[in-house]
Structure 1
Amino acid sequence: MRRLLRTTWANTVLLALVLSFVTTTAVFAKNLDVSLTELFPSDRQVKTTLVINKVLERFHYRRFQLTREFAAQTLDNYFEDLDINRLFFLERDVTRFISNAGQLHDQLQQGKVDIAFDIFRIYRMRVDSRIEYALALLDQPFNFSRDETYQFDRSKSAWPVNEQQLNDIWRKRVKNDFLTLRLAGKNDDEILKQLRKRYEGIMRRIHQFTVDDVYQTFVNAYIRTLEPHTAYMSPSTSENFDISMRLSLEGIGAVLGADNEYTVIQRTIPGGPARQSGQVRTGDSIVGVAQGLDGDMEDVVGWRLQDVVDKIRGPKGSVVRLQILPKAEGTASRRLREVTLVRKEIALEDQAAKSSIITIPTDAGAAQRIGVIEIPAFYRDFRAESEGNPDFRSTTRDVRQLVTQLKKQQVSGLVIDLRGNGGGSLTEATSLTGLFIRQGPVVQVKDAFGKIEVESDPDPDIIYDGPLAVIVDRNSASASEIFVGAIQDYGRGLIIGEPTFGKGTVQTLVDLNRYVPGDNTDLGRLRLTMAEFFRISGGSTQLKGVEPDIHFDLGIAGSDQGERSLENALPWSKISTASYTQHHSINNVQHLKARSAQRTAQESGFQMLMSRSRILSEIEAEDTVSLQEQIRRRESDQREQVLKEERHRFLRAQGIEPVDEDAESPDEEALEKQQKVIDKIQTRESAHILTDFIQMQWNTAYEQRTAK
């Protein structure tokens, strides 16, 4: 189990890297137009479905049972995956198939997926019809003074009932697309040319869907009905994955995701070109991609995520230019930012832990020196370890050295920064915890058969037993949550920040061919959820994540963040408590909260973060936008002005003259420096909280000594 979990992490992370950000120099041939007469399932896919059913029934962590209700939900998911914004299908299309869910149930039991292909053929015809209508609309003038709105997020709306309703939705959609580009500074001729290419590109890419593409899309809708982290890779996708694994991980250093028709930056990787540019931020949308310094910018709105990734990937040292729609200004934005990035390999050194010292004044007058260690990922150089190198790099080894150095510099306390740390090696999460506890269990792992194994720190050695705090945010996940949960359960340190992501499940790659020995047919692979992490106190890290002892209330609602936002996510659950002894009991947390709230209410950095969070929350709550040009300009200007004023006020308070990131050639080094200062706002407050905690401990000890 232990080796399997380590392998699971490596496969899961590498799969995410390959599918989500720039990875290889390989260029895969584009499909030609596929005839409708070719879009029928094959015998190989019947066999694949039967094997998938068998694997899910026997090995998936969640009990799988193919019922009629499950088949009906699969159809819902499939329609959603094909047409999430409800721009193509009519209500009668959906009703016809949903009412026939029993037929799909019977087919799936036999491995058949004929209905999935029936639906896709109708979908392709609907796309052709809609694109023809959209192109015709471009020949007509638009009235941008007319008082009307466009609902850009229709994922929860009813399906259009007839052609007339669908025509009106598309009229507003095309009008909105036109207005958005006009607000970005393009002239009408440029806009018409770009939108024609965009709409024709949507139709062209749908026509390039092969039988494997259609099957993979449907099977993933089927599997997602069970649980969101299990996924299928067709033979062609598996082949691309293998090619990617044989090449170095080169790219822009950004994890990408799909949101309706946009490709969205989910997070940037420390040390990567995107993060270092200072111009690419979480939540921004990529709307255009260009190659080299002077290549044409290609509109990628409406593209499949993998197609956008294929455009962004390229050899180390080459240039890619991205056209970014900033999240902070929302759909009303009239500002597109062009960012030039040089692709590079994300080296282990770029991910390595780093340390610094923050000096905090106290009420008593004597300043406290607080050590800070940033850990971007739980890394371990498996290759160097397997080659017998005794000095292989790892998170635990690096942190041990950093702590030793900080102790020599006589720090009074230590802050571990895990913000944005999406996880990594389970071994490292366990051994890192061991640096701060004497010995004992760190995490419990329950597999699909109910067997529970405990990962423990067997080493009684402890590198640091002083005051400790850990900062987390909504992107701290997996191995981060294991470490943080153990530190909290042992009472070893204060947990500060936001509730963590809540991913408490474990995946492994399963080669489906192993279940049909002697058959040379390639069936592809399944990424399978096969275990769950539990804290030593018994509760899972799944769904709920880890709740901080002291929250940074930035005004962002957390109900639809992280794992909590995923459909069919495994629920939170609890098992028996492991045998462990709590090291400390942290008291008077309310006093620390009150002191922190008083500081942050007056601090310009937190005021800036609050303003940004408030605007982002407003944007996320919107699903409609005005189609009046004057109103759109005003909305965009107001948001941009608020964000810019707060940012500039804070930076000037730090003695830094703000850099104009909208300049044609902004100073990237200065922008990165500015972002680092902003990133330290929460770090510094965490150091303040830990200083209060140290002072509180000293006062308690003094009172006890005086009483004696």
Structure 2
Amino acid sequence: MKLKTSLLALLLAAPLALLARDDAVRADAPSAQALPSAPTADQSTAARLVHGLLSDSQYAYRPRVLDDALSQDVYRRYLEALDPSKQFFTAADIARLDAYRTQLDDAIKSGELEPAYAIFSLFKQRVEERVAFARALLKQDIFTFDGDDRFEYDREDAPWAADAAALDVLWKQSVRNDWLRLKLAGKKEEEIARTLDKRYANLGRSIAELKGEDVFQTFLNSYANAIDPHTDYLTPRSADNFNMSMSLSLEGIGAVLQRQDDVVAIREIVPGGPASKTGKLKPGDRVVAVGQGENGPMEDVIGWRIDDVVAKIRGAKGTKVRLDVIPAEMGLDSKPTRVVIVRDRVRLEDQAAKSEIHTIPGTDGEPPLRIGVIKLPGFYQDFEGRRKNSADYASATRDVARLLTRLRAEKVDGVVLDLRNNGGGSLAEAIELTGLFIDRGPVVQVRESGGRVVVNGDDDPGVAWDGPLAVLINRGSASASEIFAGAIQDYGRGLVIGETSFGKGTVQNLVDLDRWPANEDPRFGQVKLTIAQFFRVSGSSTQNKGVEPDIAFPVSVDASEYGESTFDNALPWTRISPVPHTRYGNFAPLVPRLQSMHANRVANDKEFQWWKEDVAEFRAERAKKWVTLNEAERRAERDRDDAKRKQRQAERKALGLALDPLAEELYDDGLAANERDIAKDAEREKLAEKRPDPLLRESAAILADAIRLLHADRQLSAQVLPRGEARHWAQ
């Protein structure tokens, strides 16, 4: 499993927000355009500019000469981006396309990218053929499931199918698996056939209606990713969306939108946003027309791409947008309701830091301890707002500081910072966030392309929290998360708990390609370019190796499946000289006792043991890379899963544990995200956030163990916390 996503995966991805990426567009929609066979003049210029950046050591940390060898790498990655599961191209197609293997370097240098469009043209043709084949299968008598057939769903490392007949076999099994999933979910044959026919038709349409900029971005990303895994090309629209995601704010109506069939529907209303204040919109409502200002013409947006609809709805603060909306409960041929909304600045609070308090019971007459938890999903920062010195600009550090003030007022005994699945973000935020817990000092070393090492640190005196601290990480914790966790570990400022992190030890910067022609309007896009490698203050890199926890939980995903080590062109691990820094504590003498207490506790913790069982089953299933197409076997598996969930829920009730709000949900409803009831699906997402979290609870318990041990054993405390700065651990 890798962070990169294919073009097809992006097209089929489900809920998309107002800062979302592309979805399909209907051929007769006003926003549609015929796919060109050659780049535009701006795209040709952009390709040459990208080449100039990526081959120049002044900009790129690891520049590569664009020659025939690199061309072959770009070619391979482009094919992977188009057809990652090898379900459209045949070996015969690849043999035909191999003529382009050593031509792509010249195409990029010259800006004459016709080979990229030619490859895509064949891909588009093959998708049309596969879609037609899949839809035809639905009318055949092939849906019996009593044999030994299996569907091999993981074909990343499989060879290309020899010919169309071989692909027919693969697709037949894929369609049968889709049918079986819906049958097991209780759907009737007629409904299954309708659902799948629409699904496959939508797949074909999503490819047929792509724009030239989609193909261009996918191809240039194949070049950028050949330089290193974290260098990317962004079109002007994608760059705009990326910046909004980093700033956690946008100017619009405050609604999350999702494409469903031919219409864009509202998936979620952002609390306190303009759409929420009208009181006239709700999840599931369909937007069928958009008008600008008081009197601008209403444009029918049925069949439009979601990003084109978003572009019409989004706009400057204080301006008006008019929406024609058909309520969720009414048919699409009903008369729409017109809603007028004044756009405003919208803060995406659901992606911001949040806090809660866990009470950890005492034993042997000990009082309970209150552990504050701060969940930080990303190291976000509104760069423009900060540059303008806006009073309320979004900042992960500022938000965490406010939450620490609140937790301190609540008199918590310790704090756990939850960085699970936090993929990083702003380097400056990682440094400043570390400064909330240390009193001045270096945080990270940054080695630039020329070899110069710059030490970045916290210069502000004082801390926001000087008490007991733990950092919870997993394999999805990357980049800025690793800088923070590594610094806390190197300073001995807190315990690191969980899994070894992702292993991304490089720094990227956005380079605006319009800076050289000095365009007033964005035309050429931006490059997210690797410019440096970062190192911990101890001198060790997190690259490839990640941050290893002091107290380890069972591995949920193997390093061979997910993380920096899975990229074939990732930078190797290395180290440089350490820099002097304060050592607040040394947890080595404490860790064995904490591990023993942790092991004893989780051995009797039902939810933790259930989690371990689920992880083991998940990993075993992934290792198989196939599922049986025998209905009796699949039904037995489903029944076992259902019985297991019900039994666990009953045990939760008997033990007085928090109930799982999704225990009664179908294990697999067989539907794609855009085939479900939008309002109900959004509600399920919210309920999922309330599911019991044994790892977070156990992390709080481990921190509570540390507090109690250090309080009770002054000799141990003197070994672990020799400095007065960390005195609050032992009080």
Shorter-chain TM range is 0.7 to 0.9
Give the alignment of 1:238-277 within 5 angstroms. Answer: 247-248=251-252, 250-252=254-256
Give CA deviations for 1:154-173 in whole Å, capped at 9, x if unaligned: 22111111232122222222
Cα distance between partner residues in 1 of 2:681 and 2:305: 31
1:134 aligns with 2:134: yes
Tell me the equivalent position of 1:452.
453
CA contact (8 A) 1:150 1:173 kept: yes
Is the alpha carbon distance of 1:653 and 1:565 closer, same or farther for their aligned partners in structure 2, counting shifts above 3 Å?
farther
Cα distance between partner residues in 1 of 2:558 and 2:540: 23
Give CA deviations for 1:195-215 in whole Å, capped at 9, x if unaligned: 222223333332223433322
The amino acid that maps onto 1:92 is A
Cα distance between partner residues in 1 of 2:399 and 2:132: 59
SS in 2 for 1:443: strand
The amino acid that maps onto 1:456 is G
Cα distance between partner residues in 2 of 1:517 and 1:448: 26
Is the alpha carbon distance of 1:132 and 1:542 closer, same or farther for their aligned partners in structure 2, counting shifts above 3 Å?
same
Tell me the equivalent position of 1:631.
633
CA contact (8 A) 2:535 2:542 kept: yes
Give CA deviations for 1:209-268 in whole Å, capped at 9, x if unaligned: 3433322222212221222222223456568879998634845599x9xxxxxxxxxxx9
Cα distance between partner residues in 1 of 2:659 and 2:235: 52
The amino acid that maps onto 1:662 is E
CA contact (8 A) 2:55 2:66 kept: no
Cα distance between partner residues in 1 of 2:116 and 2:394: 48
Give the alignment of 1:627-666 within 5 angstroms. Answer: 627-650=629-652, 652-656=654-658, 659=661, 661-662=664-665
Is the alpha carbon distance of 1:630 and 1:692 closer, same or farther for their aligned partners in structure 2, counting shifts above 3 Å?
same
Tell me the equivalent position of 1:5.
none
CA contact (8 A) 2:19 2:241 kept: no
Is the alpha carbon distance of 1:635 and 1:227 closer, same or farther for their aligned partners in structure 2, counting shifts above 3 Å?
same
1:694 aligns with 2:707: yes
Cα distance between partner residues in 1 of 2:77 and 2:97: 12
CA contact (8 A) 2:21 2:238 kept: no
CA contact (8 A) 2:424 2:480 kept: yes
The amino acid that maps onto 1:40 is A
Is the alpha carbon distance of 1:690 and 1:113 closer, same or farther for their aligned partners in structure 2, counting shifts above 3 Å?
same
The amino acid that maps onto 1:572 is W
Structure 1 residue 86: deviation in Å? Answer: 1.3
Tell me the equivalent position of 2:369.
369
CA contact (8 A) 1:25 1:315 kept: no
Structure 1 residue 551: deviation in Å? Answer: 0.7
Cα distance between partner residues in 2 of 1:569 and 1:547: 19
Tell me the equivalent position of 1:613.
615
Is the alpha carbon distance of 1:311 and 1:617 closer, same or farther for their aligned partners in structure 2, counting shifts above 3 Å?
farther
Moved more, 450-459 or 555-564: 555-564
Structure 1 residue 64: deviation in Å? Answer: 1.6
1:292 aligns with 2:305: no
Tell me the equivalent position of 1:579.
580
What TM-score do the two structures reach when normalised by structure 2? 0.74
CA contact (8 A) 1:250 1:314 kept: no
CA contact (8 A) 1:22 1:309 kept: no
Is the alpha carbon distance of 1:32 and 1:509 closer, same or farther for their aligned partners in structure 2, counting shifts above 3 Å?
farther
1:590 aligns with 2:592: yes
Is the alpha carbon distance of 1:361 and 1:395 closer, same or farther for their aligned partners in structure 2, counting shifts above 3 Å?
same
Tell me the equivalent position of 2:479.
478
Cα distance between partner residues in 1 of 2:102 and 2:20: 46
Is the alpha carbon distance of 1:391 and 1:230 closer, same or farther for their aligned partners in structure 2, counting shifts above 3 Å?
closer
SS in 2 for 1:247: strand
Tell me the equivalent position of 1:162.
163
Tell me the equivalent position of 1:112.
112
Give CA deviations for 1:588-628 in whole Å, capped at 9, x if unaligned: 31221122111111111201211222232233223222222
Q: Percent identity?
A: 35
Tell me the equivalent position of 1:284.
none
Give CA deviations for 1:519-559 in whole Å, capped at 9, x if unaligned: 99933332222233321112223333211100112554343
Is the alpha carbon distance of 1:415 and 1:130 closer, same or farther for their aligned partners in structure 2, counting shifts above 3 Å?
closer
**C-alpha RMSD of the superposition:** 4.5
Cα distance between partner residues in 2 of 1:23 and 1:29: 15
Tell me the equivalent position of 1:60.
60
CA contact (8 A) 1:504 1:540 kept: yes
Structure 1 residue 443: deviation in Å? Answer: 1.4
Structure 1 residue 409: deviation in Å? Answer: 5.8
CA contact (8 A) 1:249 1:346 kept: no
Cα distance between partner residues in 2 of 1:689 and 1:489: 19
Is the alpha carbon distance of 1:358 and 1:425 closer, same or farther for their aligned partners in structure 2, counting shifts above 3 Å?
farther
Cα distance between partner residues in 1 of 2:243 and 2:411: 49
Give the alignment of 1:215-364 within 5 angstroms. Answer: 215-234=216-235, 247-248=251-252, 250-252=254-256, 292=284, 347-348=348-349, 351-363=352-364
Cα distance between partner residues in 1 of 2:42 and 2:702: 60
SS in 2 for 1:678: coil
The amino acid that maps onto 1:84 is P
Cα distance between partner residues in 1 of 2:98 and 2:14: 31
The amino acid that maps onto 2:515 is R
Give the alignment of 1:72-151 within 5 angstroms. Answer: 72-98=72-98, 101-142=101-142, 143-151=144-152
Cα distance between partner residues in 1 of 2:65 and 2:512: 22
The amino acid that maps onto 2:284 is G
Structure 1 residue 113: deviation in Å? Answer: 2.7
The amino acid that maps onto 1:570 is L
The amino acid that maps onto 1:53 is H
CA contact (8 A) 1:24 1:313 kept: no
Cα distance between partner residues in 2 of 1:272 and 1:478: 30
Aligned residues: 628
Is the alpha carbon distance of 1:481 and 1:310 closer, same or farther for their aligned partners in structure 2, counting shifts above 3 Å?
farther
SS in 1 for 2:359: strand
What TM-score do the two structures reach when normalised by structure 1? 0.76
Tell me the equivalent position of 2:505.
504
Tell me the equivalent position of 1:49.
47
CA contact (8 A) 1:368 1:691 kept: no
Structure 1 residue 346: deviation in Å? Answer: 5.2
Give CA deviations for 1:481-534 in whole Å, capped at 9, x if unaligned: 222111100111111112223333333332323334689993333222223332
Tell me which of 617, 622, 636 is aligned to 2:624: 622
1:71 aligns with 2:71: yes
Tell me the equivalent position of 1:287.
none
Cα distance between partner residues in 1 of 2:125 and 2:408: 68
SS in 1 for 2:692: helix
Give the alignment of 1:370-385 within 5 angstroms. Answer: 370-376=370-376, 377-378=378-379
Tell me the equivalent position of 1:522.
523
Is the alpha carbon distance of 1:399 and 1:55 closer, same or farther for their aligned partners in structure 2, counting shifts above 3 Å?
closer
Cα distance between partner residues in 2 of 1:310 and 1:442: 42
CA contact (8 A) 1:559 1:565 kept: yes
Cα distance between partner residues in 1 of 2:491 and 2:705: 21
CA contact (8 A) 1:556 1:614 kept: no
Structure 1 residue 462: deviation in Å? Answer: 3.5
Structure 1 residue 456: deviation in Å? Answer: 1.4
Give CA deviations for 1:657-703 in whole Å, capped at 9, x if unaligned: 55454399989999968854612x23332233223323433454258
Tell me the equivalent position of 2:569.
568
Moved more, 634-643 or 460-469: 460-469
CA contact (8 A) 2:48 2:109 kept: yes
Structure 1 residue 401: deviation in Å? Answer: 5.5
Is the alpha carbon distance of 1:699 and 1:202 closer, same or farther for their aligned partners in structure 2, counting shifts above 3 Å?
closer
Cα distance between partner residues in 2 of 1:31 and 1:633: 38
Moved more, 69-78 or 486-495: 69-78
